[in-house]
């Protein structure tokens, strides 16, 4: 709201209150005049001191004036401050090749690093942390930042599907480290933490690195099979040498990937660093903290910009004291003011310990507790609170949607699906809520492996809200091109003489030419599509994992 609008509304409010005050004073004065002319009405007409009423009305108008004045006296000023701090820079170089999904370390090698680094982050507060990921290729994944919360989000999102190129090219990743260093000339205290299983690095030429180097090995020398699962459906198996998946980890063709401890030792020695296997023990993590504490810190100046809003406080303070004075005068204008004031104080001190127990909005409070429990990942408690809220709030589709979200997190897909359908068909549901419900329904179908139904739900979500970016991304994921095997199968089934097609084939072709929206854009893909996509990459790497 702009200043002119505030002034207009303020003038209207003050004018209305002024007229009301004048009317009160006029009525009171007229009543006093009548009482003086007709003594018999003295006990029947209730009046007050006109001067006191005038003073009280004037004080209230002044309080209102200063309150309105404060609204457009707020001044927003862009301010800057410079803060000096000392920190170290920790750059993680993380292997995200398929071999990091090996299960010789539980639950797998990459998740072991995620768990270890997330527990390490609070101790790295005050330092800058960044991350480079690599497989057959590499890229800067997380820029150097002191925002530990942001770094934790990057770590949680790590996965072996991040880099499509096959193999493991550590040399390319370490060149990225030097690129980061050159771009940030003030990096004087930097630690590079290389996280890998050491497999398929032997033939690579590694660049020189400046600064301290720590090597974390993850895996066992006995090795283990590589498990891969489709993130959308949870279906998958164990990777074989011919890029397929099998159900049993004991099949003859299953890849067994092993930790190359000798290479990792040599890698640490090459950079005058330290090698530690962090698969089962956390000694390496604490050694890293000790190294950071003992390093000479980089002195950095950080310019922080913020908005300094001021100007309203004096006016609000004056308005508050004027309103307080007006209330005191109001009590004085009443009969037996002392008795009424005493009763007010007795009531306050008697019930002040009980007021906090009054639940003025039990349904709303239950929803608030349910949302809080959901954010804390306590989904059982969240579901109970949403169900409790239904006792007080009836016929609200938002409550159905909240309850379905808790049921989904608990794996109750059938129950969640039923609640979402009720939400969509609810007469009070708006387009935004319907879009969210369709999207959630698509996630359920995707979890159950029903990709056509999932795609249909995502399309319905976009119909309700065309700006739903998450639905667009999921549709893009579901509409990947058919793999080469499916194309070959289609090619073999073609009739070499189109003019001699039987009627049944002609009918089928006609149906294919007029498919539904879903059938037209839906192209199924196999669960091991990521394995098929892991072609190409560095020619130095012979292993696609």
Burial class of residue 29 in the structure, from the number of CB atoms within 10 Å of its CB (0-12 exposed, 13-18 middle, 19+ buried): middle
User: Any idea what the CATH number is for the domain that residue 189 is in?
Assistant: 3.40.50.410
The CATH code of the domain that includes 378 is 1.25.40.10
Long-range Cβ contacts of 398-401 (<8 Å, 24+ apart) = 398/433, 399/367, 400/426, 401/433, 401/436, 401/437, 401/440
Indicate the angle between helix axes 469-478 and 431-447, nearest 10 degrees. Answer: 30
Claim to verify: residue 383 and residue 275 sit in the same structural domain: no
Q: Count of CB atoms within 10 A of residue 268's CB?
A: 19
Are both 167 and 188 inside the same structural domain?
yes
Full domain range(s) for residue 413: 365-478
Phi, psi for 181 (deg, rounded to 5): -65, -40
Residues 63 and 116 in one domain: no
Q: In this predicted structure, what is the pLDDT of residue 79?
A: 61
Q: How far apart are CA 367 and CA 382, in angstroms?
A: 9
Q: Do 286 and 332 reside in the same domain of the chain? A: no
Q: Are residues 376 and 465 in the same domain?
A: yes
Is residue 542 in some structural domain?
Answer: no
| Same domain as 52, residue 15 | yes
C-alpha span between 160 and 276 (Å, rounded): 22
pLDDT at 355: 40
Q: Given 302, 328, 356, which residue is the final one in a domain?
A: 302
Q: Do 91 and 234 fall into the same domain?
A: yes
What is the model's pLDDT at position 307?
Answer: 57
Alpha helix locations (H) across 410-450? 413-425, 431-447
Peptide linkage before 539 cis (omega within 30 of 0): no
Measured CA angle at 183 (ends 181, 187), to 5 deg: 45
226 contact partners, CB below 8 Å, separation of at least 6 = 98, 99, 101, 102, 103, 238, 239, 255, 257, 545
Distance CA 89, CA 220 (A): 29
Neighbour tally for 451: CB within 10 Å: 21
As a dihedral over the C-alpha atoms of residue 150, residue 152, residue 155, residue 157, rounded to 10 degrees, the angle is: -70
Q: Are residues 94 and 63 in the same domain?
A: no
- Of 280, 302, 324, at which residue does a domain stop? 302
Look-up of token digits 């003859």:
252
Q: Tell me, yes or no, whether 89 lies in a domain.
A: yes
- Claim to verify: residue 189 and residue 324 sit in the same structural domain: no
Residue 501 lies in a domain: no
- pLDDT string in tens for the chain (545-residue length): 566 776 787 788 888 888 888 888 888 888 888 878 887 777 777 777 778 788 888 888 888 888 877 777 666 566 666 666 677 889 999 999 999 999 999 889 999 999 999 999 988 888 889 999 998 888 889 988 888 888 999 999 898 888 877 778 888 899 988 888 777 655 567 899 999 998 876 677 888 888 889 999 999 999 999 998 876 666 789 999 888 889 898 888 899 999 999 999 999 999 999 999 999 988 888 888 888 888 766 666 555 565 555 667 788 888 888 888 887 777 665 555 555 555 555 555 554 444 443 444 566 777 888 888 888 778 788 888 888 888 877 778 888 898 898 888 888 888 889 999 999 998 888 988 999 999 999 888 887 878 888 888 989 998 888 888 888 888 877 775 333 334 444 443 333 333 333 333 333 333 343 444 444 443 333 334 445 444 444 434 457 76
Residue-wise DSSP of 307-347: EEEESSHHHHHHHHHHHHHHHHHHHHTSSSHHHHHHHHHHH
Residue 545 lies in a domain: no
Say yes or no: 106 and 220 in one domain: yes
Q: Rg of the Cα trace of the chain?
A: 36
End residue of a domain, out of 456, 478, 500? 478
Classify strands 138-145 and 128-134 as parallel, antiparallel or unpaired. antiparallel
Q: Is residue 500 part of a domain?
A: no
Residues 290 and 212 sit within 8 Å (Cβ to Cβ): no
Q: What is the pTM of this model?
A: 0.48
- Residue 504's pLDDT is 38
DSSP 8-state class, residue 199: T
Look at the chain and report how many structural domains it folds into: 3
Residue 324 located in a structural domain: yes
Rounded to 10°, the helix 109-120/148-156 angle is 170
CA distance 369 to 281: 39
Q: Are strands 298-310 and 227-229 parallel, antiparallel or unpaired?
A: unpaired
Strand partners, 133: 94, 139
pLDDT value of residue 40: 75
**pLDDT score for 82:** 63
Q: Is residue 343 part of a domain?
A: no
Residues 284 and 330 in one domain: no
CA dihedral 207, 208, 211, 217 (to 10 degrees): 50
- State the CB neighbour count (10 A cutoff) for residue 317: 12
Q: Are 109 and 232 contained in the same domain?
A: yes
User: Is 236 within the bounds of a domain?
Assistant: yes
């Amino acid at each position: 709201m702009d200043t002119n609008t505030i002034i207009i509304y303020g003038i209207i409010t003050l004018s209305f209150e002024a007229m009301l005050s004048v009317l009160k004073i006029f009525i009171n004065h007229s009543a006093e005049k009548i009482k003086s002319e007709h003594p018999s009405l003295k006990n029947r007409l209730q009046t007050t001191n006109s001067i006191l009423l005038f003073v009280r009305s004037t004080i209230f108008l002044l309080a209102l004036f200063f309150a309105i004045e404060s609204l457009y006296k707020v001044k927003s000023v862009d301010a800057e401050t410079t803060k000096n701090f000392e920190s170290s820079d920790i750059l993680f170089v993380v292997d995200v090749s398929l071999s990091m999904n090996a299960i010789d370390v539980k639950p797998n090698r990459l998740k072991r690093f995620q768990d270890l680094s997330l527990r390490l982050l609070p101790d790295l507060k005050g330092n800058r942390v960044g991350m480079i990921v690599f497989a057959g290729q590499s890229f800067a994944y997380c820029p150097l930042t002191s925002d530990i919360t942001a770094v934790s989000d990057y770590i949680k999102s790590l996965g072996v599907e991040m880099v499509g190129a096959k193999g493991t090219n550590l040399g390319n990743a370490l060149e990225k480290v030097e690129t980061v260093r050159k771009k940030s000339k003030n990096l004087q205290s930097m630690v590079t933490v290389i996280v890998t299983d050491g497999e398929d690095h032997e033939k690579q030429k590694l660049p020189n690195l400046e600064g301290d180097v720590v090597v974390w090995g993850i895996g066992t020398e006995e090795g283990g099979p590589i498990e891969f699962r489709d993130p959308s459906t949870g279906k998958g198996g164990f990777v074989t040498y011919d890029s397929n998946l099998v159900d049993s980890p004991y099949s003859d063709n299953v890849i067994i990937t092993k930790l190359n401890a000798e290479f990792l030792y040599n890698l640490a020695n090459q950079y005058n660093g330290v090698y530690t296997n962090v698969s089962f023990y956390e000694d390496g993590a604490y050694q890293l903290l000790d190294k950071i504490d003992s390093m000479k810190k980089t002195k950095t100046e950080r310019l922080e910009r913020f908005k300094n809003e001021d100007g309203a406080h004096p006016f609000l303070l004056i308005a508050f004291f004027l309103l307080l004075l007006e209330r005191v005068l109001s009590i004085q204008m009443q009969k037996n003011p002392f008795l009424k004031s005493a009763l007010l104080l007795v009531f306050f001190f008697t019930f002040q310990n009980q007021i906090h127990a009054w639940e003025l909005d039990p349904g709303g409070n239950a929803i608030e507790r349910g949302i809080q429990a959901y954010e804390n990942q306590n989904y059982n408690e969240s579901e109970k609170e949403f169900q409790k809220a239904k006792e007080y709030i009836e016929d609200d589709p938002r409550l159905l949607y909240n309850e379905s979200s808790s049921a989904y997190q608990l794996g109750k897909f059938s129950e969640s699906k039923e609640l979402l359908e009720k939400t969509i068909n609810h007469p009070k549901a708006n387009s935004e809520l319907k879009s969210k419900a369709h999207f959630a329904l698509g996630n359920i179908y995707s979890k159950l492996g029903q990709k056509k139904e999932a795609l249909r739900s995502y399309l319905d979500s976009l119909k309700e809200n065309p700006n739903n970016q998450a639905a667009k991304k999921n549709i893009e994921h579901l509409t990947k091109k058919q793999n080469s095997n499916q194309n070959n199968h289609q090619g073999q089934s073609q009739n070499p003489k189109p003019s001699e097609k039987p009627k049944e084939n002609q009918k089928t072709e006609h149906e294919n030419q007029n498919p539904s929206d879903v059938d037209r854009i839906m192209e199924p893909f196999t669960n091991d599509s990521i394995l098929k996509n892991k072609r190409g990459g560095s020619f130095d790497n012979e292993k696609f994992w």
